[in-house]
Structure 1
Amino acid sequence: MTNHDEDDTAPPKTYITREELNKARIPLAWRDYCAHLLPELNQCRKDNYYLPWKCGNERVAWMKCQYDDYQRRMRKLEKRRAKQDADRLDSTAEEL
């Protein structure tokens, strides 16, 4: 999902529309970057009575998407912090 060459400043693409999320009855709290994987996962869970050993591929795909999104956000945060630190050092150096 995520490559290190991607532009971290660009917002991630969404692969599902708001209408599709409403139709799949995805709660607002779960409508994030990986929401496009939830309808398939929830349907599989419903079809298999939420058996823990079923729907493994769908669950792993959703969890990997969540992890990749977390990594993307943390890289973005690190870049922002590094820029703030550099700006702070520059302003301190100018004062001296």
Structure 2
Amino acid sequence: MGGHHHSPEAMPRKDQDLDAIKKAKIPLGYRDTCSHLLIQLNECRRQTYFNPHQCSHQRHTYEECQYISWLQRVEDKKEHVAKMKAAAALEG
């Protein structure tokens, strides 16, 4: 089966520029590990008057980042559940 081939620019980043996010007026609900890409996407959208065909690369990169971030959260949850099960097995 195919492997995970994600573009390097779509990787989530924990070190976000909070001043740039605040300046771009990104809503609190969207301030995550992909905010740096949302800033670029929104700038493109404003420059092209929200034409859906003009910012497809930025949108794809942002959505890919969101997907990678979700995959990371799923893996973290699996590890957490495994640790909790192991701890419960030791106690009981």
TM-score band by shorter chain is 0.7 to 0.9
Q: Look up the SS of the partner of 1:25 in the other structure.
A: coil
The aligned residue for residue 13 of structure 1 is 14
Kindly report which structure 2 residues correspond to 1:45-84, keeping only aligned pairs within 5 A, or say none. Answer: 45-84=45-84
Q: Look up the SS of the partner of 1:58 in the other structure.
A: helix
The aligned residue for residue 9 of structure 1 is none
Write the distance in 1 (CA, Å) between the matches of 2:65 and 2:41.
13
Flag as ranges the 4+ runs of structure 1 deviating above 4 A.
Answer: none
* Unaligned residue ranges in structure 1 (runs of 5+): 2-11
Write the distance in 1 (CA, Å) between the matches of 2:52 and 2:18.
29
Write the distance in 1 (CA, Å) between the matches of 2:36 and 2:55.
16
The aligned residue for residue 25 of structure 2 is 25
Give 1 or 2 for the bigger CA radius of gyration: 1
- What do the CA deviations read for 1:50-70 (whole angstroms, capped 9, x no partner)? 122220110010001111111
**Letter in structure 2 aligned against 1:41:** L
Q: Look up the SS of the partner of 1:21 in the other structure.
A: helix
- What do the CA deviations read for 1:22-55 (whole angstroms, capped 9, x no partner)? 2111111111000001111001111112122220
What number of residue pairs does the alignment pair up?
A: 82
- What do the CA deviations read for 1:51-92 (whole angstroms, capped 9, x no partner)? 222201100100011111111111011000011111112222
| TM-score, length-scaled by structure 2 | 0.79
Write the distance in 2 (CA, Å) between the matches of 1:26 and 1:13.
16
- Quote the sequence identity (%): 33
| TM-align CA RMSD | 1.7
